Amino acid sequence: MLQEMVLLKMFKFLTNSKHPSLGPHLYLLGLTGIWQPDEKTQFTRLKMIIFYIIVAFFSSQYMKCILYPKIESIQLILQYVPFHLGIVKACYFRRESKTWSSLVNFLSQVECKQIEGKEEKMITIVESYIQRNRRITYFFWALAFFSNFSIFSEPYAKNRIIENGTSIYLNIFDGFVPFGGEPPGYYISMAIQTILGHIVSAYVIGWDTMVASIMIFFAGQLKMSRSHAKEVVKSDTVETHRSIANCHKFHVELVKHQRIFNGLISQVMFVYLIVISVNLGVCIIQIVEVQDDLAMLISSCLFVVACLIQLLLFYWFSNEVTEESLKVSYGVFESDWVKCDKLIQKEIHLLGLTLSNRLVFKAGPFNEMSLTTFVFILRTSYSFYTLLNKTN
């Protein structure tokens, strides 16, 4: 507990009173340039130029695969596919920037209003899930940092000289860089790849932790909705009517913005669902083939663990939102509804039906993001691994 408090204090400068939950995530996304509250500044324009350069660089890898097809180039893309997905996430985020901005403003306004209301129950729920959000976020950032360190140092460990005197110098990305494939041009090329790779990694972890944090927000606010439903019955009939209306309005707003959020992430998650299944299979094969190279084995295992944690992050919290949505209507029947007159009881029963919406997040049109789907992805990855292993 003490270590968690120290960690939270270390990153206190990332907090933002206007965005209680999303302050650190907006800071990171703003630093990379894909979150732009003010698009007219020179610094923002510079970050957008860098963004377009990165997109062009990663796109050039696919052009090279088409124009000069090599199995090594395809394997390199599959090996570092999370970075390529970072470009997809960033492009989708920029395309839907206005919708994202509207969603972020809704989340922040709800939390600020609840904190300013100074109701002990509300503040306890909000502070509880914000603290949880911070722990998950900073843990994932630390994991990504160490994972990046192993990824970007991996090619240097694999570089070697063959018996006939030919040298092999490996890259992280096979994009177009106007330098030679051997030193000194190789080291300039690797420096460029490392810088661009770290920026794309920031796209990935910024988007991923923000999505997970918004899921945590919805799970927390569904608990808040249940708490409202418990206290829907007041001493006065008019107050009870008003309380029912407010509880209904709050929940409807949550459902509306949950569906907006699902629309923002669904397509990206579908691409991620397909690609990560293939990527995990490829990584497992590499781990199996590693012999007498402990550093490479640790690096590969760390990368697989990072991919699995990244995947679990979404499916765990998505599953939690679904579970919490099924409990909201329980709050109505935990209230003192039996003491009300028949008219109020009918309204409370209708409120209970309204609050019983099952909220889910989907990866594409068919796949629900749940722990069951997560297990299915692991099985699919293993099946892909066995298929590739047999064809070798």
Cα–Cα distance for residue pair 368/88, rounded to 1 Å: 21
**Domain map (residue ranges) of the chain:** 20-391
For the beta carbon of residue 288, count every other beta carbon within 10 angstroms. Answer: 11
Helix (H, G, I), strand (E, B) or coil at 198: helix
CA dist., res. 366 & res. 5, Å (int): 41
The answer to whether residues 222 and 330 touch, using CB atoms and an 8 Å cutoff, is no
Beta bridge partners of residue 368, listed in sequence order = 362
pLDDT at 77: 76
Alpha helices in 334-370 (DSSP H): 342-354
Gyration radius (Cα) of the chain, Å: 25
pLDDT for the residue 210: 93
Q: What does the pLDDT read at residue 359?
A: 93
Q: pLDDT tens-digit profile of 221-274? A: 999 999 988 888 888 888 888 888 999 999 999 999 999 999 999 988 888 887
What is the average pLDDT across 120-140? 89
- Residue predicted with more confidence, 220 or 32: 220
Distance CA 67, CA 65 (A): 6
- Whole-angstrom distance, CA of residue 172 vs CA of residue 81: 11
> What's the one-letter identity of residue 153?
S
| pLDDT classification of 2: cutoffs 50, 70, 90 | very low
Q: Nearest Cα to 156, choosing from 169, 167, 139, 143? A: 169
Task: Return the exposure string of 356-384: e unless at least 16 CB atoms fall within 10 Å of the residue's CB, then b.
Answer: ebebebbbeeebebbeebbeebeebbeeb
* pLDDT attached to residue 307: 74
Least confident segment among 32-41, 162-171, 326-335: 162-171
Q: Identify the three-state secondary structure at position 160.
A: strand
Q: Over 80: is that where the pLDDT of 305 sits?
A: no
Q: What is the pLDDT of residue 299?
A: 67
- Residue 220, pLDDT above cutoff 90: yes
- The count of other CB atoms within 10 Å of the CB of residue 302 is 16
Give the separation between CA 221 and CA 227, rounded to whole angstroms. Answer: 9
What rounded mean pLDDT belongs to the chain?
A: 82
With beta carbons less than 8 A apart as the criterion, state whether 26 and 36 touch. no
pLDDT greater than 90 at residue 213: yes
Q: What is the reported pLDDT for 253? A: 94
Write out pLDDT tens, residues 69-114.
777 777 777 777 778 888 888 889 988 989 999 999 999 999 999 9
Cα 19 versus chain centre, distance = 18
Distances (CA, A) of 52 to 31, 40, 75, 87: 15, 17, 25, 10
What is the CA angle 227-233-234, rounded to 5? Answer: 115
Give the pLDDT of residue 250. 93
What is the structure's pLDDT at 347?
A: 86
Inform me whether the pLDDT recorded for 340 exceeds 90: no
43-63 average pLDDT score: 85
For the residues 118-126, what does the mean pLDDT come to? 86
- Pairing type for strands 367-368 and 362-363 reads antiparallel
Secondary structure in 3-state letters for 304-326: HHHHHHHHHHHHHHHHHHHHHHH
Q: Please report the pLDDT score of residue 191 as a whole number.
A: 84
pLDDT value at residue 293: 65
Helix (H), strand (E) counts: the chain: 13, 4
- CA–CA separation, 267 vs 373, rounded Å? 16
- pLDDT cut 70: percent of the chain above it: 86
Q: How high is the pLDDT of residue 388?
A: 62
Q: What pLDDT score was predicted for residue 260?
A: 95
Q: Which of 123, 116, 352, 120 is nearest to 244 (CA)?
A: 352
Locate all alpha helices (DSSP H) within 231-329, ordered by sequence: 237-289, 294-327
What is the rounded (10 degree) CA torsion for 197, 203, 204, 206? 140
pLDDT score of 390: 67
Top pLDDT among 287 and 43 is at 43
Burial 89-113 (b: 16+ CB within 10 A, else e): bbebbbebeeebeebbebbbebbee
